[in-house]
A and B are shown apart, each in its own frame.
Chain A
Amino acid sequence: MSAGQTLEASPPLSRLIVRGVGWCGLGLLAVTVLLSDFIARAPAGMADPSAMLNAPSSTHPFGTDLLGRDLMSETLHGLAETGAHALFGALVAIVCGELFGAVAARLPVPLARAIRGVMGVLAAVPALLLTILLIGLTARFFAPLAAGLAAAPLAFVRAFDRVDVDSKHSEYARATGIPATTLLHRDLTYEFREMLGSVAARALAAVTIILSTASFLGFGAEPPARDLGLMIAAAKATYLAAWWTAACPAAALVILVLCARLAAGLDEGEQP
């Protein structure tokens, strides 16, 4: 019996390739970070007063900064610390944003709408401002948590809106007494699980940018912490004379965010 096949569209090959490149890049960065203590030529913060602002050379491939620290070592340590904080923040954003959004969509309609309204307002506030506000209310130590919470409203809204509570299959389920928890289980099993990779990568990119920007502006990490945003901020004084002092941590930051965005498929979050 041959009847017409109704095949759902699979992700196009180009997107799969983009994601593959992104995840490979993130994997390489993770390996680099894990081996940073072995790859780095010097421990974090070790200064050599005789080698201040040295241009990139065979001795110092990324050059040295104003205090004579090897920038390659500093960038590796900074990448490790920024990456670890960003991962924690991304986890917070996923749980408080994506997961909570999927759950809230299946709550009783008035409650769901009220929560959606509040989170919609929060999502309209720039995440950086929210982060700074939360850091101000707590302490710099909580910057990764603050960045994750600040990224959560937008993730919440995306996840909430992705759940089609008025779909025909949801209507059918309600008509046959299937409880809302089963529908939530469906969303988490089939939709959230499917999208977890891109959701995590997108959250990682967002939180990395928020954290680094907050540190750059002086609201996040403070010395002697190794944070890429903080390193770029510290290079402001020497950047015009020694471009490498800012370029190296900035390049590391760009690579981390770019890989995360590629892993998310370069989209804004609707495609699995």
Chain B
Amino acid sequence: MMESRPLLELSELTVASGGATVLDRFSLRLDPGESTIVLGETGCGKEALLRVLGGFAHKTDTVTGTLRFRGAEMRPSAWRAKPPIRIAWLANPLSQPFAPHASLADQLARVIARKLGAPLGSASEELRLALERLPGTVTPQLLDAKPGRLDPVTQAIGLLACVSAQTPDLVLADHAMADLGPGAVRMLLEMLAQERRRLGFALIYATGGLQPPARLGGRVIVMRSGRVVEEGDALRLMSGHAHAYTRTLFKALPQLSLTETRPRSSARGQPLLQVHGLMYGGKTRDGLTFELRRGAALALVGEEGSGRRALLRAVLAFEPAASGRVVFDAVDLNILSQTMASRIRRRIAFITGSDESLDPRMSLWDTVEEPLRAHLNLSGDLVAGYREAALKRVGLASLDGKRLVGRMSAFDKRRLQVARAIVSAPLLAVIDEPLRGLDAFAQTIMREVLIDFRVTQGPAFLVITSDFTVAQALAEDCMVFHEGRLIERGAIVDILKAPREEATKALIRAVTLPDLSQAGASV
């Protein structure tokens, strides 16, 4: 019997960029409808693989090896060469793949029209039909707005519909749903899996997280430094019967623990932040009352737009609250002048998933030293001493102090934020999605750095996250928000064991990987 031709065949594909080999003799055979997850850290080679397959290799890339689509050989280095199969690209909406000034619906329709060689009107109709097939309420009318006015999840659904409307043979997804929040990722991956079943396209999904292999299944290729560490069925690799690197990688990725019983810290220390009957935003009917003690850690958990940041802005008096009282360090923030409030805020530090909170023009040393120089009259030697101690604790002491922040990696920037917080000696650290955009090992180190910060300096933590694994790693108590309202509060471990509200259950389900736990339990 004659063997069917594979959709894609890669043989000894090697990509060198800037003198370094970023993909080393990579071989792959992908049959129609087959799903392959390429898993690894940033820079492991998956980005180079996708850009060669997508036909937009960098001009500095030297590509060798064989690339065949349905048996037809192509020059892998041919820039934007048209392959004999229809390839669709599923981008991450957070990578800003759209022009900012044109309607998103128009831009998606143009992509479909170009890929199908159809008139724009027909492409718009295809987009409408694709959106109708996807569960949810996203319509072409909703997408008929500039990308900046739409939330990333809506954009992601639009991108998925665009891919679906192209009826592709192969979909390339480059971290397509990273950093969208666990609930959204779960929903989008289920949509992608559903469309794949319906249209039967093959999929190559590059990721650094656990959700795609757990939810999409299929073959997983684990990569490191441009080379394949191992490949196999998702369940087998995740079950523990895997290469040591794969096991370490999976171990580094955050997972929920229902058995962890850390002592609740809310009963320790004097009250640091007392909120009484705070009315904020437009959706709260009853005033919010809670207390955060010195050294305690409280997580505000909820999806994007659930009201956590509105609460934070009201609590820290960045925006006036309708009513209520906020006492921070025994001072009522709402009765203070701007100058006095500014003095009080010196004892608050922020560590956020958005590295824009760092001035890209400043150097590493200047960034760490600035809080000391701005607030205290210290000698240069003392400032240098504090700076070095902070940088050592976050593992940045070996970097050139004159390196500009704008030229640092996301992981270094995140640790730099912690170093800046350490020298501020804050009473309260606001930690907002601290692991966003980091790969597995970087997330592990970042968690350890934050935990060390809390243990050694004892600031209270106010953690804002949509991910219960992050909340559990950094805090003991949580308040769950949904659609602008507080729906549940208590010890995280108790809420994980017995969530009362449906929205809380959905947040927990989003980070619970049933396949993994079942497979792990069976080992």
Contact = CB atoms under 8 A, between A and B. Distances in A.
The judgment on whether A and B are partners is: yes
Interface of A: 1-8, 167-169, 171-179, 182, 186, 190-191, 194
Interface in B381-406: 404, 406
B350 interface: yes
A271 to B, nearest CB: 14
Contact of A186 (B350, B361, B406, B409): B361
Contacts of A167: 356, 359
Interface in B274-298: none
A34 B311 CA distance: 66
Contacts of B442: 1, 3
Given A1-B411, A169-B358, A178 B374 contact: yes
A1 B408 CA distance: 13
A175 B362 contact: no
Contacts of A173: 359
Interface in B174-223: none
A4 B42 contact: yes
Given A6-B409, A168-B354, A177 B342 contact: yes
Contacts, number: 93
B438 interface: yes
Contacts of A4: 42-43, 409-410
A156 B42 CA distance: 43
A177 B406 CA distance: 23
16 contacts: A1-B41, A2-B43, A3-B42, A3-B43, A3-B410, A3-B438, A6-B408, A6-B409, A8-B404, A8-B406, A8-B407, A167-B356, A176-B345, A178-B370, A182-B370, A194-B361
A123 B370 CA distance: 35
B441 interface: yes
Given A169-B360, A177-B342, A182-B374, 15 more contacts: A1-B445, A3-B41, A3-B42, A3-B438, A5-B408, A6-B410, A7-B407, A8-B404, A8-B407, A167-B359, A168-B357, A175-B348, A176-B346, A177-B374, A182-B373
Contacts of B371: 176, 178
Contacts of B343: 177
A194 B404 CA distance: 13
Nearest to B345: A177
Contacts of B359: 167, 169, 173, 186, 190
B383 to A, nearest CB: 14
B59 interface: no
Given A176-B424, A182-B374, A186-B361, A2 B42 contact: yes
A191 B375 CA distance: 23
Interface string B126-160: 00000000000000000000000000000000000
Nearest to B360: A8
Contacts of A6: 355, 406-410, 413
Given A4-B409, A6-B406, A172-B357, A179 B370 contact: no
B285 to A, nearest CB: 28
A6 B416 CA distance: 15
A144 B44 CA distance: 61
A113 B413 CA distance: 33
Interface string B326-362: 0000000000000000111110111010111111111
A193 to B, nearest CB: 10
A186 B362 contact: yes
B441 A1 contact: yes
Contacts of B357: 168-169, 171-172
Contacts of A171: 357
Contact of A177 (B356, B375, B445): B375
B356 A175 contact: no
Tell which of B355, B358, B359 has the most Cβ of chain A within 10 Å. Answer: B359
A183 to B, nearest CB: 9
In the A-B complex, the 10 residue pairs with the smallest Cβ-Cβ separation, listed nearest first, are A168-B356, A190-B361, A3-B411, A8-B406, A177-B346, A172-B357, A177-B345, A2-B43, A169-B359, A3-B409
Nearest to A8: B406
B209 to A, nearest CB: 14
B316 interface: yes
Nearest to B224: A2
A172 B318 CA distance: 11
Contact of A176 (B348, B355, B409, B410): B348
Contacts of B413: 6
B303 interface: no
A3 B445 CA distance: 12
A272 B374 CA distance: 26
A51 to B, nearest CB: 59
B412 interface: yes
Contacts of B43: 2-4
Contacts of B408: 5-6
Contacts of B41: 1-3
A186 B404 CA distance: 13
A4 B373 CA distance: 31
Nearest to B444: A1
B433 interface: no
Contacts of A194: 361
Tell which of B42, B374, B439, B442 has the most Cβ of chain A within 10 Å. Answer: B374
Contacts of B409: 2-6
A190 B358 CA distance: 13
A6 B442 CA distance: 16
Given A179-B374, A186-B359, A3 B439 contact: yes
Contacts of B352: 172
Given A168-B357, A169-B357, A178-B370, A190 B345 contact: no
Interface in B31-50: 41-44
Interface in B409-450: 409-413, 424, 438-439, 441-442, 445
A8 B371 CA distance: 24
Contacts of A190: 359, 361-362
A177 B354 contact: no
A162 to B, nearest CB: 12
Contacts of B358: 169, 172
A190 B361 CA distance: 6
Nearest to B406: A8
Nearest to B344: A177
B414 to A, nearest CB: 9
A176 to B, nearest CB: 6
A114 B358 CA distance: 29
Nearest to A9: B406
Contacts of B344: 177
